[in-house]
Structure 1
Amino acid sequence: MTSPQEAARQADAIAARVRPPVFPDREFPVTEYGAVGDGRTDCTAALAAAVAACHAAGGGHVTVPAGTFATGAIHLRSGVDLHLSAGATLAFSRDPAAYLPPVLTRFQGVETFGYSPFVYAHGQRNIAVTGEGVLDGRADETHWWDWSGQEEFGWRPGLPQQEDDWPLLWRQAERGDPVEQRVYATGHHFRPNFLETYRCENVLIRGVTFVRSPMWVMHPVLCRNVLVENVTVDSIGPNNDGCDPESCRDVVIRGCSFRAGDDCIAVKSGREADGRRVNVPSENILIEDCEMLHRYGAITLGSDMTGGIRNVFARRCRIGGPGLYFGLYIKTNSVRGGFAENIQLDDLTVTHLTKEFLTCDFYRGEGDTGDHPPRVGDIGVRNVTVERARRALLVQGYPHAPVRGLRLADCSFGEMGEDDLLGNVEGLILDNVSGTRTCG
């Protein structure tokens, strides 16, 4: 088990190592390239021209002044900081054609060519989205959300949905079909993520607000040195995860607020056969001084975690609300596989959860039907106060693959509605813990 001192040292090292990119003091106002902030004029070409000019000049700030600027996909390039001034809104098109041609992306942990994320970068260095403005995806029950297949969000029997396409993509991944053959854009219904950086280095997202996302909000994939700071996510749509670092190394998520339609922060690393093919873990992730207010897991590992997750630290966070389910939620099984190791939580204040503070149940979903038993262990929880939840702990490993190493120290659990559920857990330590109702 990682000691508290070692956990603090490792977290501090990540904080020191992850630094924001620095941009030349040059500005490229989008209005000088034809953008009009009237909410009606299509500014896609103007934004692209400003990004190209900034990149060609060696980098700087593409500035968006106060106003509402209608646009399609924005593709960032190396050296570009897309800066939204106070009062600026980027209002993204509801027309799927505005997100063509298809680009390389990951949909639910599987590589494919699909609709472009609204803000996208591939293979770039030193990029940013900053400022005090708003990125509005304009998704609702008749645009994007209805593709989820959930009647709560506008889908009705007979309408197209993403699950119509998923079995084919999954089979292609299982067969090992080349990614270039997996094209799911025109005529298909995989919703794009809002902001995605793919194989990028030195990424900064700071200060902005995201609303009405089509699917996941922030999705760094296979990136290094990512800083997400003082960002607000207020998007309670289907699968509207707040921030999903996937197969990334050295990530800091700091000072952010999440009202999400799914997991607030979900660390991922690919799914099943495709996750084993890419085989890149997420590692060295620091979450600090954030608040998680709504929906499923406050901090989730998985369920797309086939490539593995290690060295995740969360500290000084505020968690809880009437619509929030879990505190720490580890989702895997013998179909997904992967590992979660060295997961350390410290100094968390939790008001209320509708389910468990910590859930890790290998039998969730497919049960024990696969050939890839997961490896989960070295989980430390320290200095945590939970006022109200259904349980403190629901942890169930497999007999042949138990959860190894779970320590709670200096924790207080208040009003817990039910006994804890524990099965196939080796090395459980409760050190100065009050209020748990441990059984099993």
Structure 2
Amino acid sequence: MHKSVSHTYQRKRSFFWSFPLFAVLLFIGFIACSQQSGTTSGQTSVYNIEDFGAVGDSATVNTEAIQKAIGQAHQDSGGTVLIPEGVFSSGSIYLKENVHLKVAEGGKLRGIAGNENYPTLENTRIAGLTVDWPSALVNAINTKNVKISGKGTIDGSGYYWWEDYWEKRDSLSGTMHPDIIDWHVPRPRLVFFDSVSVSSIEDISLENSGFWTVHILYSNRIDIKGVDIDNPAIDREVQAASTDGIDIDSSSDIYIRNCSINVDDDCIALKSGRYSDGLEIDIPTENVVVENCHFGRGHGGVSIGTETAGGVKNVMVRNNTSDGNQAPIKFKARPGRGGVIENITHVGWDIKNAGTVIHYALREANGEDYTDPWTEETIPFEKATPRYRNITIRDLEAIGAEESISFLGWPLAHAQNVILEDVSIEAETGAEFQYIDNLLLKNVYVDAPGQSMEFTGVPNRTQK
């Protein structure tokens, strides 16, 4: 007999007892980061882009004027570059050390059409591979102490690229490996941080990205708070193309909080490279906190993968909500990506109308060596197969879900050490667990028609 969700547990844990030790240490580090990252915000100099010739009529291309304002602020040892009220169209701009880009209320920085307006970055990383790719609309590269904020909007005008992407994808479908089609339609990201430290993105609206919205790569001590991301925003019938909300990629000490995200793809994705390229670079994403965020539509809420070659570890996801997301808690485990994913903790979820509340699906791992579809190199099975371990999900309540839990490892690639505690889910289908070493279920209730839980290849299972 199923337990009704109306009789769910009471959350009684204190703040620190809900956290493993690594997360407490992370917060101490983030406090220190916040205290030290005020270099740009404390500057009194303001550089209004209109004073450098910018015109907010939507039609004028202001790339040069905005870059001049950034250059002057940097030359003067830092300051705020202001996008005032109006619609200021631009191609790629590049932030410099100690520069704060602020978009005023009623102001919009809008991307213009044409890849020629987004200079090619050589040897950047896109979807886990090192390739040449257009610059983002807003870039920060090999710098520190930069900030993006404001009550206005940064709009990537992604609709200039989305239709071309879907047409190209359809034409290439069946002629090449589906995982590499993405690289055949170059399109700009919205905000890109590469090798950046002690910097932030705060209290701003981001929309209509041509590709990923915020990409944090090879960076550390980045604070993202109060950011509203919406793709697409112009027409709900338009399907954006791979418009992830926030991608944390081979980066460390990242704090994401108080954000609201609605996108075509994953809302937040933690990544670290794929295939031979990612295995060779071998830089993990680690020490990440995501809290007090809301996830609307999207393929995933907080997703780990699919690019995992460098590993992902020490992640705390705390006190978040979701409504209408396909998989709020998502582990995208795929052969060929490699890496170790460990010490992942979810605490305090309120979930409504999910597709699958907890989704872990490892594609077939059959023991054979893997062929890199990009380079055609052979990757040994052990190195190519990602390993997920030490996963805790606690204090979760979900209603109106289609599927409760789908946690499916493979016989040759088990997940290890998985704990679910104080979990209550109302769904159309029950929970399925496959190939997990050491599974603890404590106060886990699934209200679904038929059998609430099924187990295959779970030898060390404890239910309380």
Is the structural similarity TM-score above 0.5? yes
Which AA in structure 1 matches 2:344? I
Partner of 1:144: 161
Residues 245 and 267, structure 1, Cα contact 8 Å, conserved in 2: yes
Partner of 2:453: 438
Give per-residue Cα distances to partners, 1:130-170, cap 9 Å, x unaligned.
11110111121xx211232x35xxx6866x99x98999999
Residues 147 and 191, structure 1, Cα contact 8 Å, conserved in 2: no
Q: Secondary structure at the match of 1:233?
A: strand
Is 1:69 aligned to residue 93 of structure 2?
Answer: no
Do the aligned partners of residues 294 and 34 (structure 1) sit closer, same or farther apart at CA in structure 2, a change above 3 Å counting?
same
Residues 137 and 191, structure 2, Cα contact 8 Å, conserved in 1: yes
Is 1:420 aligned to residue 435 of structure 2?
Answer: no
Partner of 1:359: 359
Which AA in structure 1 matches 2:158? A
Is 1:299 aligned to residue 302 of structure 2?
Answer: yes
TM-score, normalised with respect to structure 1: 0.87
Residues 16 and 24, structure 2, Cα contact 8 Å, conserved in 1: no
Do the aligned partners of residues 358 and 58 (structure 1) sit closer, same or farther apart at CA in structure 2, a change above 3 Å counting?
same
Paired residues for 1:39-438 under 5 Å: 39-140=58-159, 143-148=160-165, 150=166, 189-236=185-232, 237-321=240-324, 324-354=325-355, 356-363=356-363, 369=368, 370=370, 371=381, 372-414=384-426, 416-435=427-446, 437-438=452-453
Which AA in structure 1 matches 2:227? V
Matched residues, number: 409
Which AA in structure 2 matches 1:50? A
Do the aligned partners of residues 94 and 284 (structure 1) sit closer, same or farther apart at CA in structure 2, a change above 3 Å counting?
same
Do the aligned partners of residues 28 and 368 (structure 1) sit closer, same or farther apart at CA in structure 2, a change above 3 Å counting?
farther
For the aligned residues, what is the CA RMSD?
Answer: 2.4
In structure 2, distance between residues paired with 1:269 and 1:216 = 15
Q: How much has 1:17 moved relative to structure 2? A: 1.6
Q: Secondary structure at the match of 1:305?
A: coil
Do the aligned partners of residues 168 and 287 (structure 1) sit closer, same or farther apart at CA in structure 2, a change above 3 Å counting?
closer
In structure 2, distance between residues paired with 1:56 and 1:165 = 48
Residues 405 and 426, structure 1, Cα contact 8 Å, conserved in 2: yes
In structure 1, distance between residues paired with 2:440 and 2:170 = 49
In structure 2, distance between residues paired with 1:5 and 1:165 = 46
Do the aligned partners of residues 103 and 78 (structure 1) sit closer, same or farther apart at CA in structure 2, a change above 3 Å counting?
farther
Give per-residue Cα distances to partners, 1:255-305, cap 9 Å, x unaligned.
000011100000000111111111000001100000000021101000011
Which AA in structure 2 matches 1:7? F
Q: Secondary structure at the match of 1:379?
A: strand
Give per-residue Cα distances to partners, 1:212-253, cap 9 Å, x unaligned.
110110000010001110000011312111000100100011
Q: Secondary structure at the match of 1:417?
A: strand
Q: How much has 1:358 moved relative to structure 2? A: 1.3
Flag as ranges the 4+ runs of structure 1 deviating above 4 A: 155-158, 163-170, 366-369
Residues 165 and 189, structure 1, Cα contact 8 Å, conserved in 2: no
In structure 1, distance between residues paired with 2:389 and 2:269 = 18
Give per-residue Cα distances to partners, 1:37-82, cap 9 Å, x unaligned.
1111111001110111111111111111111101100111111110
Q: Secondary structure at the match of 2:164?
A: helix
Residues 345 and 382, structure 1, Cα contact 8 Å, conserved in 2: yes
Do the aligned partners of residues 109 and 156 (structure 1) sit closer, same or farther apart at CA in structure 2, a change above 3 Å counting?
closer
TM-score, normalised with respect to structure 2: 0.83
Do the aligned partners of residues 283 and 439 (structure 1) sit closer, same or farther apart at CA in structure 2, a change above 3 Å counting?
same
Residue identity over aligned pairs, in percent, reads: 25
Residues 229 and 253, structure 1, Cα contact 8 Å, conserved in 2: yes
Which AA in structure 1 matches 2:150? G
In structure 2, distance between residues paired with 1:169 and 1:215 = 14
Residues 100 and 116, structure 1, Cα contact 8 Å, conserved in 2: yes
Which AA in structure 1 matches 2:126? F
Residues 387 and 413, structure 2, Cα contact 8 Å, conserved in 1: yes
